[in-house]
Amino acid sequence: IQMGLAENQLCFDLVENWVKNNPASSICTPEGSSGFKDIAIFQDYHGLPQFRNAVANFMAKVRGDRVKFDPDRIVMAGGATGAHETLAFCVANPGEALLVPTPYYPGFDRDLRWRTGIQLVPIECKSSNKFKLTIEDLEAAYETAKLNNIKVKGLLLTNPSNPLGTILDGETLRSVVAFTNSKSIHLICDEIYSATVFDGDAAEYVSIAEIVDEDRNSNVAPNRLNLDLIHLVYSLSKDMGFPGFRVGIIYSYNDVVVGCARKMSSFGLVSAQTQHLLGSMLADDDFVGEFIAANRRRLSERHRRFTAGLERVGIRCLRSGNAAGLFVWMDLRRMMKEQSVEAETALWKVIIDEVKLNVSPGTSFHCSEPGWFRVC
Partner 1 sequence: IQMGLAENQLCFDMVEQWMNNNPSASICTSQGARGFKDIAIFQDYHGLPEFRNAVAKFMGKVRGERVKFNPDRIVMAGGATGAHETVAFCLADPGDAFLIPTPYYPGFDRDLRWRTGVQLVPIECQSSNNFKLRIEDLESAYDMAKLNNVRVKGLLLTNPSNPLGTILDGNTLRSIVSFTNDNNIHLICDEIYSATVFDKPDYVSVAEVVDEYLNNANDDGEGDDGNSNGPRPTLNLDLIHIVYSLSKDMGFPGFRVGIIYSYNDVVVSCARKMSSFGLVSTQTQHLIGSMLSDDDFVDEFIAANRRRLAERHRAFTGGLAEVGIRCLKTSNAGLFVWMDLRRLLKEQSVEAETALWRVIINEVKLNVSPGSSFHCSEPGWFRVC
Burial of 114 (C-beta count, 10 Å sphere; 0-12/13-18/19+): exposed
Nearer CB in complex with partner 1: 53/274: 274
- Of the candidates 350, 352, 348, the residue with the CA atom closest to the CA atom of residue 361: 348
- Planar angle of CA 55, 57, 60, nearest 5 degrees: 110
User: Among 27, 118, 185, 192, which one carries the catalytic annotation?
Assistant: 192
Q: What are phi and psi of 99, to 5 degrees?
A: -85, 140
Query: What size, in residues, is the chain?
Result: 376
- 220 contacts partner 1 (rule: CB under 8 A): no
Amino acid 281 reads M
Pick the closer one to partner 1 by CB: 79 or 160: 79
Using CB under 8 A as the binding rule, whether residue 85 contacts partner 1 is answered as: yes
Assess 170 for contact with partner 1 (CB under 8 A). Answer: no
Give the range of 30-38, 167-175, 216-224, 305-313 binding partner 1 by CB under 8 A.
Answer: 30-38
Which of these segments, 119-127, 153-161, 181-189, 236-244, binds partner 1 (CB under 8 A)? 236-244
Q: Is 12 in the site for partner 1 (CB under 8 A)?
A: yes
Among 53, 57, 81, 307, binds partner 1 (CB under 8 A): 81
Closest CA to 63 of 265, 161, 268, 203: 203
- Asked whether position 105 contacts partner 1 by CB under 8 A, the answer is no
Pick from 185, 101, 88, 96: nearest CA to 136? 101
Candidates 6, 39, 87, 98; binder of partner 1 (CB under 8 A) is 39
Q: How many CB atoms lie within 10 A of CB 4?
A: 17
CB of 154 to partner 1, least distance (A): 18
Nearest distance in Å: CB 151, partner 1: 19
Check binding of 15 to partner 1 (CB under 8 A). Answer: yes
Interface of this chain with partner 1, residues 245 to 264, rule: CB under 8 A = 245-246, 263-264
- Regarding 7 and contact with partner 1 (CB under 8 A), the answer is yes
Of 104, 142, 205, 242, the residue at the interface with partner 1 (CB under 8 A) is 242
Q: Say whether 118 is catalytic.
A: no
Phi first, then psi, for residue 154 (nearest 5°) are -175, 180
Catalytic site residue 234? no
| Whether the Cβ atoms of residue 188 and residue 231 lie closer than 8 Å to each other | yes
Beta strand 152-158 pairing with 97-101: parallel
Q: Is 311 in the site for partner 1 (CB under 8 A)?
A: no
The span of 40-48, 57-65, 148-156, 294-302 binding partner 1 (CB under 8 A) equals 40-48
Catalytic residue check, 44 = no
Is the Cβ of residue 42 or residue 306 nearer to partner 1 in the bound state?
Answer: 42
Is the Cα dihedral 279, 280, 283, 287 positive or negative? negative
Identify which of residues 192 and 318 has a Cβ nearer to partner 1 in the complex: 192
Interhelix angle 272-281/12-21, nearest 10 degrees:
100
d(CA 166, CA 125): 13
149 burial level (CB within 10 Å; 0-12, 13-18, 19+) = exposed
Q: Is 190 a catalytic residue?
A: yes
Determine which residue in the list 4, 14, 33, 106 makes contact with partner 1, applying CB under 8 A.
33
The rounded distance, in Å, linking the Cα atoms of 12 and 9 is 6
CA 323 to chain centre: 14
Site for partner 1 in 259-288 (CB under 8 A): 263-264, 266-274, 277
Q: Could you say whether residue 2 binds partner 1 (CB under 8 A)? A: no
Binding site for partner 1 (CB under 8 A): 7, 9, 12, 15-16, 19-20, 23, 25-30, 32-34, 36-37, 39-43, 78-79, 81-82, 85, 89, 110-111, 114-116, 237, 241-246, 263-264, 266-274, 277
Query: Which residues are catalytic, by number?
Result: 105, 190, 192, 238
